[in-house]
């Protein structure tokens, strides 16, 4: 049995002013094994973030089943934590306060919270910035805090919703390396949503490609590159082949989108 099992999952949003519902995710099935690093890639509007938020328990499901370790997901739970796209840090708390906040909300009881928070702040390389407020940090540093906050509560599954989406290309690459370095320590199950093809391949054991109208899974591609991953791999023939396949999928999705527009 896979750790995360998604079966025929549909998610609907209610449109404003009672104009019915919008299907964001349509009958999706997916298995994620324990310790697997899975990325979801797709163009905007394909429901990839919605699927992740449903697994986080933050979005209600309309149909189908969603289980983690055999238990149906009915809301946020202590076995999952989320790193959001924008660093959703409390602006009035320091780096330390923000990482502690996650532990406090989880009602963490084992040992000293500050000590544990500091341990994870050090892990993401911000040890000397513990007393800074979020507005004093760069975008990359804020996301490091977010990652520290998510890891400190010791989740079985780490969910990341385009965490590096707002960062510049260089910072993004550095953060990808860092994330893998941290992930290699205990290899928790990780689900990572992105619209960046290279990022999706570089991080993943398995890339899930999603398409839109309505959101569905087009393909699941296993990535057989050795770990630990290195920057040079981006230039390898194997990487180029994965990139070509993913591009073809996404280009097809864009083309149908175009046709739909013209038909309307």
Partner 1 sequence: MVAVAATAPQKRVPEPARLGAGARSSVIGFCSVAAFLILWQVAPEMGWVNGRFTSQPSEVARAAVEVFRTDNFLHHARISLTEFFLGFALALVVSVPLGVLLGNSRLARDIINPPLMALYIAPTLILLPIMTIWLGIGMASKVAVVFLGAIFPIIVNTMAGMREADAKLVRAAQSFGATRMDIFRHILLPGSLPSLLAGIRLAVGRAVLGVVVGELYVSQAGIGHQLVVYGSSMRVDRLLVYALVVSVFGYAMTTLVRVLEGRVRNWRPET
Binding of partner 1 by 6 (CB under 8 A): no
d(CA 215, CA 192): 17
Query: Which is it for strands 216-222 and 206-211: parallel, antiparallel or unpaired?
Result: antiparallel
Binding of partner 1 by 93 (CB under 8 A): yes
Residue numbers 156-215 binding partner 1 by CB under 8 A: 171, 174-175, 178
Residue numbers 17-76 binding partner 1 by CB under 8 A: 56-58, 76
Cα first-last separation, the chain:
44
d(CA 218, CA 245): 12
CB of 220 to partner 1, least distance (A): 26
Binding of partner 1 by 10 (CB under 8 A): no
**Of 40, 46, 126, 197, which lies in the binding site for partner 1, with binding defined by CB under 8 A?**
126
H helices, E strands: number in the chain: 7, 10
Binding of partner 1 by 245 (CB under 8 A): no
CB of 197 to partner 1, least distance (A): 23
Name the nearest CA neighbour of 207 among 232, 239, 171, 170: 239
CB of 82 to partner 1, least distance (A): 4
d(CA 234, CA 7): 33
Binding of partner 1 by 13 (CB under 8 A): no
**Of 3, 10, 39, 81, which lies in the binding site for partner 1, with binding defined by CB under 8 A?**
81
Residues in CB range of 37: below 8 A, 6 or more apart: 183, 187, 189, 190, 192, 203, 204, 205, 206
d(CA 181, CA 177): 6
The answer, yes or no, to whether the previous bond of 228 is cis (omega within 30 of 0) is yes
Binding of partner 1 by 78 (CB under 8 A): yes
CB of 84 to partner 1, least distance (A): 6
* Size of interface with partner 1, in residues (CB under 8 A): 38
Q: Is 19 helix (H, G, I), strand (E, B) or coil?
A: coil
**Of 129, 164, 183, 242, which lies in the binding site for partner 1, with binding defined by CB under 8 A?**
129
Binding of partner 1 by 102 (CB under 8 A): yes
CB of 102 to partner 1, least distance (A): 5
For partner 1, the binding residues (CB under 8 A) are 56-58, 76-78, 80-82, 84, 86, 88, 90-93, 101-102, 105-107, 125-126, 129, 132-138, 140-141, 153, 171, 174-175, 178
């Amino acid at each position: 049995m896979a750790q995360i099992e998604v079966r025929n999952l549909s998610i609907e949003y209610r449109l404003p002013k009672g104009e019915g519902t919008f299907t964001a995710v349509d009958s999706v099935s997916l298995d994620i094994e324990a310790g697997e690093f899975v990325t979801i890639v797709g163009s905007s509007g394909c429901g990839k973030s919605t699927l992740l938020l449903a697994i986080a328990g933050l979005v209600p499901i309309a149909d189908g089943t969603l289980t983690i370790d055999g238990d149906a997901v009915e809301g946020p739970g202590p076995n999952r934590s989320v790193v959001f796209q924008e660093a959703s840090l409390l602006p009035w708390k320091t780096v330390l306060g923000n990482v502690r906040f996650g532990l406090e909300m989880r009602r963490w009881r084992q040992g000293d919270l500050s000590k544990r928070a500091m341990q994870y702040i050090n892990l993401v390389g911000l040890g000397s910035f513990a007393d800074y407020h979020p507005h004093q940090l760069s975008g990359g540093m804020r996301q490091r805090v977010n990652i520290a906050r998510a890891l400190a509560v010791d989740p079985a599954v780490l969910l990341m919703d385009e965490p590096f989406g707002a960062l510049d290309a260089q910072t993004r690459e550095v953060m990808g390396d860092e994330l893998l370095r941290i992930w290699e320590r205990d290899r928790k199950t990780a689900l990572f949503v992105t619209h960046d093809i290279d990022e999706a391949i570089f991080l993943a054991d398995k890339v899930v490609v999603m398409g839109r109208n309505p959101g569905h899974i087009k393909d699941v591609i296993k990535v057989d590159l050795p770990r630990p991953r290195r920057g040079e791999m981006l230039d390898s023939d194997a990487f180029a082949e994965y990139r070509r396949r993913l591009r073809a999928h996404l280009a097809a999705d864009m083309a149908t989108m175009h046709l739909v527009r013209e038909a309307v």
